[in-house]
């Protein structure tokens, strides 16, 4: 940003510029044009050149608009009647009623405690920042969120690298693409998806979205996304709906319909843990029946229990477990070669 | 109870700093007069952050009719109170007096967090959760993003642990270690931790005279005693890491697919990701992009389970005894099918 002005403008902190922008747009009923904003609002006006080119300042304004909208600030654009399509005459404002938290919304101490705990559960990933901001807003209306909830440290994990970019794309309604390795396929294939919902089921994050390659909804396991998630600039229309809860219902239906029959060795880790799992049904003797959503995920887990568990069925689960056990033996015997090299 | 220094949250992003300003102003207006210390404690920030924010608010405002930010277009505070008594009194306000709505993602994060907490055995009826979620959705500027977490039936032991924690009494239970040995434990419960669907108890183990982490689904014959805990254990700092390495740990070299890192679960906390080395191409089973890492484990038994579960993603390279343990474990399992 080369400035040819004689007196270089004193730098204005980013938050001061954003704060001034919000104040100016809240104060106006009729709205301000872009030119009025750039020439008068603190943080822009210092860099505004009335005679020259303000392209970089305009780009700054575009980014700032995105930034404050992301915070939940409703920034409205209106087109004055009689001048359709004229970009320069667009007016910007923040309608007070849509900005302010409705006056009837307040939170009791018990509710505030729960919200504090809910925010605490997001200790990693981008949603931790979102929850911290939500807590600031709670404190703004007086909620005392400083009281620690004794005894609990809940944590929602978002270990999958794909979680942050996908949750970003979800809220911005942008089409994404990512390499996805379907079990049984030799290599990952690039998928282009319009994200509908992110849900956690059985401790695993799933993306529900329209797979644009087939034009149909699909569910993707985040742990099978093998490379970077790329956000396109292309948005898509999303009718309001309960995509997340229906995605969970679908997963529950699949879970309900799949049943594994196991034999567990008494007194072992497998016996103690598997028989206490949600929906586990004790069978004859040492048998346990378990519901599952994904045969490969369950096979991973059961293979890990080694000789503590024997899978009786279904056959494709037995095969999947045996494949893993054989691979484990093959990869670890005999002694490693090439250590010296 | 002023929080200063380490306790204070710092805002690294301009968006978070802006949110702080937009939420501080309505709080200050509501309170009429409030000390810097009180405001800092309420917002869990340092007193300096409050002073800096107030100094900025006091010179901020709207361009106004003259577009020159005249005196009446700006916020004003009582400078005497601020400078001499460290108290904040807003004497003139512009444009902003109410708290902002939640963003779609903020509301979604809290709603999903509440869904997760619904498995906790608190004396909270489900009506409280649904009314809270409804309020968050109404308080958002757009409908909340579609993020949801399936509620799980947390294990029944949670209720008893919670009761023991509340009453401050000792717990007894049988615990199956990942070595496969069953031991009776007597502990002072400290905190219940969770990691997605897995629940853990952090407790002071009487026999070991140290803090230990127990998986809830490995506990049996749980008994809440009437004996009070042996101490407040105020000196115990519970970090976020569930498992800490120890000096006598076994150091194991593993080779893994970086995309499998997230599958390693509790072992990941022991893994120094800075120490990852590209795998040698002639190493057994090496695939493109695999990396080598040295991790510390208390014993091979936990690791052999992880490796047997995902042999195509993780391989033990060294020491030979660790490789042999995996082979023995997997072979014993295979024998059941032959």
Q: What is the pLDDT of residues B214-252, one digit of tens each?
A: 988 888 899 999 999 988 787 777 776 666 666 567 888
Q: Are A280 and A260 in contact (CB under 8 A)?
A: no
Name, in order, each residue with C-beta under 8 angstroms of B296's C-beta and a sequence gap of 6 or more.
B245, B246, B249, B250, B251, B252, B270
| Domain boundaries, position A203 | 163-247
For residue B227, which phi and psi values (nearest 5 degrees)?
-80, 130
At A148 the pLDDT is 56
In 3D space, the residue among A277, A279, A316 whose CA is nearest the CA of residue A296 turns out to be A316
A93 and A111, same structural domain?
no
Nearest to residue A270, comparing CAs of B75, B176, B263?
B176
- Do the beta carbons of residue A117 and residue B117 sit within 8 Å? yes
| Predicted confidence (pLDDT) at residue A293 exceeds the cutoff of 90 | yes
Sort out which chain B residues have CB atoms less than 8 A from A143's CB and list them. none
Chain A residue closest in CA terms to B12: A129
Q: Determine the pLDDT at residue B250.
A: 81
* Closest residue to B262, CB basis, from A74, A160, A336: A160
Q: Check pLDDT > 90 for residue A186.
A: no
Q: Are B204 and B187 in contact (CB under 8 A)?
A: yes
Asked if the Cβ–Cβ distance from A267 to B280 is below 8 Å, we say: no
DSSP A131: H
Q: Does some domain include residue A181?
A: yes
Residue A338 resides in a domain: no
The SS3 assignment for B126 reads helix
Count the neighbouring beta carbons within 10 Å of the beta carbon of residue B335: 11
Considering only CA atoms, which of A282, A155, A180, A196 is closest in space to residue A230? A180
| Structure confidence at residue B264 (pLDDT) | 66
Which residues 6+ apart lie within 8 Å of A297 measured at CB?
A202, A204, A221
Least confident of A292-296, B46-50, B152-156: B152-156
Structural domains of chain A, count: 4
* B96 contacts A22? CB cut-off 8 A: yes
B69 Cβ contact list (under 8 Å, min separation 6): A42, B61, B62, B63
CATH number at residue A174: 2.30.30
CA A209 remoteness from chain centre: 13
DSSP-derived pairing of the beta strands A152-153 and B182-195: parallel
Q: Which residues does chain A have within 8 Å of residue B283's beta carbon, measured at their own beta carbons?
A: 336-338
Q: What is the average pLDDT score of chain B?
A: 85
- Identify whether A252 is part of a domain: no
Partner residue opposite B103 with nearest CB, options A72, A303, A309: A72
Query: In this structure, is residue A95 part of a structural domain?
Result: yes
A218, A247, A276 - which closes a domain:
A247
Best interface-test mutation with B: which of A111, A332, A335, A341 has the largest number of B CBs within 10 A?
A: A332
With contacts defined as CB-CB under 8 Å, which chain A residues touch B108? 127, 130, 171
A179 and A240 share a domain? yes
Shared domain check, A84 and A31: yes
CB-CB under 8 Å, B109 with A114:
no
Q: Any residues with CB less than 8 A from the CB of A200 and at least 6 apart, and which?
A: A156, A206, B112, B116, B148, B149, B150, B196
CB contact under 8 A, B149 and A142: no
Q: Are residues B117 and A243, on separate chains, in Cβ contact within 8 Å?
A: no
What is the DSSP annotation of B201-230?
EEEEETTTTEEEEEEGGGEEEEEEEEEEPS
What's the rounded mean pLDDT across residues A81-85?
A: 70
pLDDT digits (tens, 9 = 90+) for A15-69: 999 999 999 999 999 999 999 999 999 999 999 999 889 999 999 999 999 999 9
pLDDT digits (tens, 9 = 90+) for B269-300: 555 555 566 665 444 444 557 788 888 787 78
Residues A335, A333: Cα–Cα separation, whole Å: 6
In this model, does residue A91 exceed pLDDT 90?
yes
Query: How far is it, in rounded angstroms, from Cα B300 to Cα B281?
Result: 26
Nearest to A244 among B146, B182, B326 (CB): B146
Q: Which two tokens stand for residue A123?
A: 């200790």
Residues A263 and A306 in one domain: yes
Q: Are A152 and A183 in contact (CB under 8 A)?
A: no
pLDDT category at A341 given cuts 50, 70, 90 is very low
Average pLDDT over residues B155-162: 80
Lay out the sheet containing B277-278: strands in order across: B277-278, B291-297, B250-256, B314-318
Q: What is the pLDDT of residues A213-239, one digit of tens each?
A: 999 999 999 988 988 999 999 999 888
Crossing angle for the helix pair A315-332 and B320-335, to the nearest 10 degrees: 150
CB contact under 8 A, B117 and A102: no
* Residues A168 and A243 grouped into a single domain: yes
- Three-state SS sequence of B232-300: CCCCCCCCCCCCCCCCCCEEEEEEECHHHHHHHHHHHHHECHHHCEECCCCCCCCCCCCEEEEEEECCH
Q: CB distance A151–B191 less than 8 Å?
A: yes
Same domain, A33 and A47: yes
A91 and A126 within one domain: no
β B277-278/B291-297 pair status: antiparallel
Considering the domain architecture, whether residues A233 and A269 belong to the same structural domain is answered as: no
For A239, name the nearest residue in chain B, comparing CA atoms only. Answer: B143
A167:B139 CB<8 A: no
Check A122 against B109: CB less than 8 A apart: yes
What CA–CA distance (Å, rounded) separates A329 from B334? 9
The residue with greater pLDDT, A261 or B3, is A261
**A92 and A108 belong to one structural domain:** no
Cα B136 to Cα A15: distance, rounded to the nearest angstrom: 26
- CATH number of the structural domain spanning residue A38: 1.10.10
Any domain includes A341: no
Mean pLDDT of chain A: 89
Considering the domain architecture, whether residues A214 and A287 belong to the same structural domain is answered as no
In A, which residues are within 8 Å of B318 by CB distance? 336, 339
Closest chain A residue to B338 measured between Cα atoms?
A322
For residue A190, the model assigns a pLDDT of: 96
Nearest to B322 by CA among B247, B245, B251, B246: B251
The answer to whether A51 and A5 have CB atoms below 8 angstroms apart is no
At B93, list the tokens: 């306000």
Q: A291 by DSSP, 3-state: which?
A: strand
Q: Is residue A253 part of a domain?
A: no
Spatial separation of the C-alpha atoms in residues B196 and B190, rounded to whole Å: 20
* pLDDT score of A42: 95
For residue B15, the model assigns a pLDDT of: 94
The answer on A38 and A24 residing in a single domain is yes
For residue B236, the model assigns a pLDDT of 76
Mean pLDDT computed over A162-185: 92
Region A87-103 average pLDDT: 91
Is there a contact between A306 and B98 if contact means CB atoms under 8 Å apart?
Answer: no
Q: Chain B closest CA to A153's CA: distance in Å?
A: 5
For residue A338, pLDDT over 90 is answered with no
Looking at A247, A282, A303, which one is the last position of a domain? A247
d(CA A167, CA A144): 29
The whole-angstrom distance between residue A38's C-alpha and the CA centroid of its chain comes to 34
Instruction: Give the model's pLDDT for residue A166.
Output: 96
| Amino acid B233: pLDDT | 80
pLDDT at B276: 61
Among residues of chain A, what percentage have pLDDT more than 90? 66
**Most B CBs within 10 Å: which of A71, A143, A183, as the mutation test of the B interface?**
A71
Q: State the first-to-last Cα distance of chain A, in angstroms, to the nearest integer.
A: 52
- Please give the residue of chain A at the shortest CA–CA distance from B68: A40
- Gap from B296 CA to chain A (nearest CA, Å): 19
Q: Supply A189's token pair.
A: 């294939």
Does a structural domain hold residue A145? yes
| Yes or no, beta carbons of A16 and B43 under 8 Å apart | no
Q: Minimal Cα distance from A252: which residue of B?
A: B150
Report yes or no: B216 and B173 within 8 Å, Cβ to Cβ.
Answer: no
Say whether both A25 and A93 belong to one domain: yes
Give the per-residue pLDDT at A109: 85
pLDDT-derived band at A9 (thresholds 50, 70, 90) equals low
Tokens of A95: 């309608």
DSSP SS3 for B326? helix
Please count the residue pairs, one from chain A and one from chain B, whose beta carbons lie less than 8 angstroms apart.
Answer: 402
Chain B residues in contact with A276 by the CB 8 A cut-off are 155, 217
- Tell me the shortest Cα–Cα distance from B240 to chain A, in angstroms: 9
ipTM here: 0.88
Separation CA B238–CA B193 (nearest Å): 10
Residues 6+ apart with CB under 8 A from B193: A153, A154, A155, B199, B200, B201, B202, B213, B242
pLDDT score, position B282: 47
pLDDT of B118 strictly over 80:
yes
| DSSP type of residue B312 | T
Tell me, yes or no, whether A340 lies in a domain.
no
> Does residue B202 contact residue B251 with C-beta atoms inside 8 Å?
no
At A244-254, the pLDDT tens digits run 999 999 999 99
Which of A81-95, A201-215, B245-259, B261-275 bottoms out in mean pLDDT, i.e. has the lowest?
Answer: B261-275
Residue B85, min C-alpha distance to chain A (Å)? 23
Task: Give residue B1's pLDDT.
Answer: 30
Distance CA B125, CA B123 (A): 6
- The Cα B51–Cα B45 span in angstroms is 11
Give the chain B residue nearest A330 (alpha carbons): B327
Q: Which residues of A touch B238 (CB under 8 A)?
A: 153
- Predicted confidence band of residue B336 (pLDDT cuts 50, 70, 90): very high
Using one digit for the tens of pLDDT, what is the confidence trace for A298-330? 999 999 999 999 999 899 999 999 999 999 999
From chain B, the residues in CB contact with A132 under 8 A are: 9, 16
**pLDDT for position A269:** 87
Residues of A in contact with B20 (CB under 8 A): 136
């Amino acid at each position: 940003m080369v400035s040819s002005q004689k007196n270089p403008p004193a730098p204005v902190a980013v938050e001061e510029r954003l704060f001034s922008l919000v104040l100016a747009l809240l104060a106006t009923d009729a709205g301000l044009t872009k030119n009025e904003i750039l020439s008068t609002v603190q943080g822009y006006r210092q860099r505004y050149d009335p005679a020259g080119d303000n392209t970089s300042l305009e780009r700054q304004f575009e980014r700032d608009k995105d930034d404050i909208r992301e915070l939940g600030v409703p920034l409205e654009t209106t087109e004055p009647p009689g001048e359709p399509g004229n970009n320069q005459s667009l007016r910007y404002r923040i309608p007070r009623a849509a900005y302010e938290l409705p006056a009837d919304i307040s939170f009791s101490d018990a509710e505030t405690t729960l919200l504090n705990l809910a925010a605490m559960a997001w200790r990693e990933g981008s949603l931790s920042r979102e929850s911290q901001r939500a807590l600031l807003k709670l404190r703004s209306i007086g909620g005392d969120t400083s009281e620690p909830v004794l005894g609990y440290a809940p944590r929602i994990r978002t270990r999958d690298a794909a979680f942050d970019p996908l949750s970003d794309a979800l809220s911005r309604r942008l089409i994404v693409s990512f390499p996805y390795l379907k079990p049984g396929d030799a290599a990952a294939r690039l998928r282009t998806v319009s994200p509908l919902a992110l849900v956690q089921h059985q401790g695993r994050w799933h993306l529900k979205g329209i797979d644009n390659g087939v034009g149909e909804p699909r569910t993707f396991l985040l742990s099978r996304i093998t490379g970077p998630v790329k956000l396109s600039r292309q948005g898509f229309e999303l009718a309001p709906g309960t995509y997340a809860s229906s995605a969970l219902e679908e997963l529950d239906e699949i879970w309900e319909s799949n049943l594994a029959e196991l034999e567990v060795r008494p007194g072992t880790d497998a016996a103690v843990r598997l028989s206490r799992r949600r929906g586990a049904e004790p069978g004859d003797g040492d048998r346990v029946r378990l519901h599952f959503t994904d045969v490969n995920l369950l096979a991973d887990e059961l293979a890990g229990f080694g000789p503590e568990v024997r899978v009786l069925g279904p056959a494709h689960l037995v095969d999947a477990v045996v494949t893993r056990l054989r691979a484990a033996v093959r990869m670890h015997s005999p002694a490693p070669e090439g250590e010296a090299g | 109870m002023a929080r200063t220094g380490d306790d204070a949250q710092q805002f690294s992003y301009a968006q978070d700093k802006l949110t702080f300003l937009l939420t501080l102003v309505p709080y200050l207006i509501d309170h009429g007069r409030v000390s810097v210390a009180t405001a800092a404690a309420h917002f869990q920030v340092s007193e300096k952050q409050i002073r800096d924010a107030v100094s900025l608010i006091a010179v901020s405002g709207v361009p106004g009719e003259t577009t020159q930010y005249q005196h009446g277009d700006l916020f004003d505070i009582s400078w005497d109170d601020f400078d001499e008594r460290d108290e904040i009194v807003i004497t003139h306000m512009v444009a902003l007096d109410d708290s902002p709505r939640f963003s779609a993602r903020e509301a979604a994060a809290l709603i999903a967090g509440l869904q997760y907490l619904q498995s906790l055995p608190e004396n909270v009826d489900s009506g409280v959760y649904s009314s809270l979620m409804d309020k968050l959705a109404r308080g958002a500027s757009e409908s909340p993003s579609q993020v949801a977490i399936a509620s799980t039936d947390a294990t029944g032991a949670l209720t008893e642990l919670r009761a023991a924690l509340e009453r401050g009494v000792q717990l007894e239970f049988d615990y199956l270690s990942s070595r496969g040995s069953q031991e009776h434990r007597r502990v002072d419960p400290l905190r219940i931790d969770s990691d997605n669907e897995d629940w853990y108890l952090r407790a002071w183990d009487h026999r070991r005279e140290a803090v230990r982490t127990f998986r809830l689904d490995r506990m049996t014959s749980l008994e809440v005693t009437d004996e009070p805990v042996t101490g407040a254990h105020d000196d115990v700092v519970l970090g976020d890491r569930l498992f800490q390495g120890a000096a006598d740990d076994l150091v194991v070299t593993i080779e893994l697919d970086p995309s499998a890192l997230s599958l390693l679960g509790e072992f990941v906390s022991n893994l120094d990701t800075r120490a990852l080395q590209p795998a040698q191409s002639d190493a057994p089973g090496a695939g493109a992009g695999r990396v080598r890492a040295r991790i510390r484990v208390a014993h091979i038994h936990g690791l052999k389970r992880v490796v047997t579960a995902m042999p195509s993603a993780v391989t033990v390279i060294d020491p030979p005894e660790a490789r042999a343990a995996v082979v023995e474990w997997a072979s014993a399992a295979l024998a059941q099918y032959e």
